[in-house]
Structure 1
Amino acid sequence: MAEEERAELTRLVEQNDLTEIRLWLAEHPPYEIADELERMDSSVAIIPFRLLDKDRELEVFEELDPVHQHEILVGLRDTAFHELLESMDPDDRARLIGEAPAKIATRALAGLSPTERKMTAALLGYPEESVGRYMTPETVILHRDLTVGRALEVVRAKGAEAETVYTLPVVDDGRRLAGTVELSDLVISDDETLLKDIVDVLVARVQATEPAEGAARLMQDANLVALSVVDSEERFVGLLTFDDALELIEAADSEDIARQSAASPVAGHYVAVTVPRLARARVLWLLLLIVASTLTVTVLQGFEATLEQVTALALFIPMLMGTGGNVGSQSATAIVRALAVGEVRLRDLPKVAWKECRVGFMLGCILASIALLIGWVVVPGGVSIAVAGSVIVVCTWAAVIGSTMPLLARRVGVDPAVVSAPMVTTLVDATGLLIYFGIARAVLGI
């Protein structure tokens, strides 16, 4: 949809043209409506939201992120408030209530029917960011001794109440997960075939208390439409569906990107986020980095006498610091990404460090040839040789630091993205200067 067409809703709301707003809402899909609502102030967004048909109201609401969902709920009357929450899927409702202010959470739970309240409370009982908070308990469960024909009858009878029927859990007498069967397999199988003869017993599964992001990554790796979730005794408790897995991966990647740029993640649509909130998300990390960068000043002070003897060394400091920082950032970004998708584990630390050491050395040799040429043109002689040698050592060192810091951070329980590009760059700047002046003094005999 063109930007001009999307902006039309804002213009209609400003003109308070309710008839045209209804027509606009009827002509656009839920995800486009949700995007436009997230761009508006909450006091304004509630106007078109109230004009939605009941059937589409829930679809649009579930497309909103939790921050804007809370704002919409605050603007609804009690009847509409409770009807909306009652009609939500249990997993979506549990996450909404879990992230909502206490006042909204209490109001929400109090208005739910006993059945929905029980399901929601069960999901809220799992740890935050665990699979249990994101799974759906509304599934069609089949017993392994059923025939295919009988299983299809159960799906037809209960499928309308389930969030998905494409992947069906199969259990034994103790409700322990025996495996899963795909709806497509049921449809093409003979009616008299027993489920235990076609069930996939090797299908991936996770415990409800495991991290949700890891489960979502597992689904991505295994190409699953839904992932079975079990308790500590292997009893089936729910399914993690692909739409929730996609949201988890998107949220995790967005958080990593924010931390890699030395900022805290900010919930909500960027257009609607206020300037003070954006500043708060960034200022803490910038303060930490500016304090850390004083290491560079300290190093320069320590080699002030060296610079007084060979002032030409100062000409190449920006180039050397920039090159080392860039190499370290590339290495750190690659390892953070590899950690996120499970390509690298903590035990791979020696292997990763050795590989990145060789990569850094190779890059250093290539870049040193350019640095030598530039240095020789500017200051022929020993200084250019010192610069070229420093580039090789600094690039090798930066690659090692950039690759090991995220792994060490994971080892001590810190998000690897926190110690990525900016932090690595700051550290490499300070240590790179030590390397540079050390090599320069050796080459020049200072």
Structure 2
Amino acid sequence: MSDGERAEELIDLVEQNDLTGIRLWLAEHRPHEIADELSRMTDRSVMVPFRLLDKDRELEVFEELDSGLQQEILLGLRDTAFHELLEEMDPDDRARLLGEAPAKIATRALAGLSPAERKMTAALLGYPEDSVGRYMTPETVILHRDLTVGRALEVVRARGADAETIYTLPVVSDGRRLVGTITLSDLVISDDEELLKDLVDVLAPRARATEPVEDAARLIQEANLVSLPVVDSEERFVGVFTFDDALEVIEAADSEDMARQSGASPVGEHYVSVSVLRLVGARSVWLMLLIVAATLTVNVMQVYEATLEEVTALALFVPMLVGTGGNVGAQSATAIVRALAVGEVRVRDLPSVIWKEGRVGLLLGVMLAGIALTIGVLLVGFDIGLVVACSVIAICTWAAIIGSSMPLLARKVGVDPAVVSSPMVATLVDATGLLIYFSIARLVLGI
């Protein structure tokens, strides 16, 4: 059965108020599948299947939902169920939810938490919104460097049930200063009398609690880590950032970049549940900015109006040239935005990036110029064909340079590189490409 059929089946069961059918449907599906189907429903109808979930699965499904739907569900719960659900959540998941929730939900939630959970949540909320500290879990097993392997295993057995992960364990010295990490597998296969200080990996990567969470997530991805220890400014261990949270961060960051690269603001919610007005709002601002920027193209056409009147055939190739330039610029911009995201290039690489992309654009232009020359000669003659061919080479080279440099320059001034990607680059290349085209036309044709 397809995902669409499953969704329609659950929606039909809810509309028919078939409680027995809903319970059977929920029992046959996994938490992430249930969460996906709930995300497709309206805020009111989603409460029916959610209330029918078994207590042991309710939290699993809830944590799979996006923040907006989580808030709607919380508002629909009675005080007892409201506080029980929040109490059972992992501290990092709870902190992120409350950090995005309206003040009335956050205040009500914190007031109902147990002292220990409230303290952990408040500590996480004290970190910046997009920092590792907001995403880490303080529920970990900490081992002192002077412990023997045998004693360390006893500590893991005693405290491991309350920890979010025990596969990679932080090893600290006095004052909770992080020494390094040791894996559970290394503990299990080592002699009971060995000291942790002789086994600890002192070169294990770590993250500062205040650094951007996306950087830490990319580090986990690149270093193939299960978890990443987090320290404060004095190198004291404060928590662990786990790979499952890292995957969510990377997915959200990539989704945001894709939205910005297409000239829209990120929505951050399930597409099916987003309203038409919300989508219009996310896209309209950028389109208005781009249409204003496109007036540059109109102004260029006005400046060269006399040239067009003298050689009207030049107008035939304007769409082809601006389209080609925009495509080349968009390709370069997309490649550099992606390279920036995964750490393959840095701002200081700007000269080498421009040199590389300039040559790429030049070679692409030479390849395409042959096609342009042939088209031009067949349609209007050799002179115009030569103008078009030379313009293709110059525009492709220029577009590649612009497309590759703008994201790096944006990063340098603190702007999200994705903001100045494909649509913005294409608009700028359109206007400047026409300047190149008409300048070459005047030079070659002597007009």
The TM-score bracket by the shorter chain reads over 0.9
Structure 1 residues 29-428: aligned runs within 5 Å: 29-428=30-429
Offset, 1:96: 0.2
C-alpha distance after superposition, 1:241-279 (max 9, x if no partner)? 000000000000000000000000002110000000000
CA displacement, residues 301-342 of structure 1 (integer Å, 9 cap, x when unaligned): 000000000000000000000000000000000000000000
C-alpha displacement at 1:20, in angstroms? 1.1
The letter of the residue matching 1:13 is: V
Q: Report the CA distance between 1:5 and its aligned residue.
A: 2.7
SS at match of 1:42: coil
Offset at 1:100?
A: 0.4
Instruction: Report the AA paired with residue 432 of structure 2.
Output: T
Equivalent position of 1:2 in the other structure: 2
Q: Secondary structure at the match of 2:166?
A: coil
Q: Which letter maps to 2:230?
A: V
Q: Distance in 1 between matches of 2:378 and 2:72?
A: 63
Please give the alpha-carbon distance, in whole angstroms, between the structure 2 residues aligned to 1:207 and 1:390: 50
Separation in 2, partners of 1:204, 1:54: 38
**2:435 match:** 434
Report SS of the residue matched to 2:267: coil
What is the distance in 1 between the residues matched to 2:8 and 2:28? 14
Distance 1:422 1:174 in 2: 52
2-side partners of 1:102 and 1:362: how far apart? 57
Secondary structure of 2:46 counterpart: helix
2:270 & 2:392 partners in 1: Cα distance?
Answer: 42
Alignment partners' CA distance in 1, 2:435 and 2:301:
9
Distance between the aligned counterparts of 1:182 and 1:7, measured in 2?
45
Matched residues in 2 for 1:381 and 1:173: separation?
81
Partner of 2:207: helix, strand, or coil? strand
After TM superposition, give the deviation of residue 8 of structure 1 in Å: 1.2
CA distance in 2, matches of 1:149, 1:30: 37
Q: Identity over the aligned pairs, expressed in percent?
A: 78
* Unaligned 5+ runs, structure 1: none
d(CA) in 1 for partners of 2:185 and 2:67? 34
Q: Which amino acid aligns with 2:445?
A: L
Structure 2's unaligned 5+ residue stretches are none
- C-alpha distance in structure 2 between counterparts of 1:5 and 1:303, whole Å: 59
SS of alignment partner, residue 127 of structure 2: coil
What displacement does 1:381 show? 2.2
Q: SS in structure 2 opposite 1:228?
A: strand
Task: Write out per-residue CA displacement over residues 47-77 of structure 1, whole angstroms, 9 at most, x where no aligned residue.
Answer: 1000011110000000001111111111111
The root-mean-square deviation of aligned C-alpha atoms, in Å, is 0.6
Corresponding residue for residue 28 of structure 1:
29
Query: For residue 12 of structure 1, what is the amino acid of its counterpart?
Result: L
Deviations 1:135-157 (A, max 9, x none): 00000000011111111110000
- Give the letter for the 1:2 counterpart: S
* C-alpha separation in 2, matches of 1:263 and 1:52: 37
Which structure 1 residue ranges, 4+ long, deviate > 2 Å from structure 2? Answer: none
TM-score (norm 2): 0.99
> What amino acid is the match of 2:322?
M
AA matched with 2:234: E
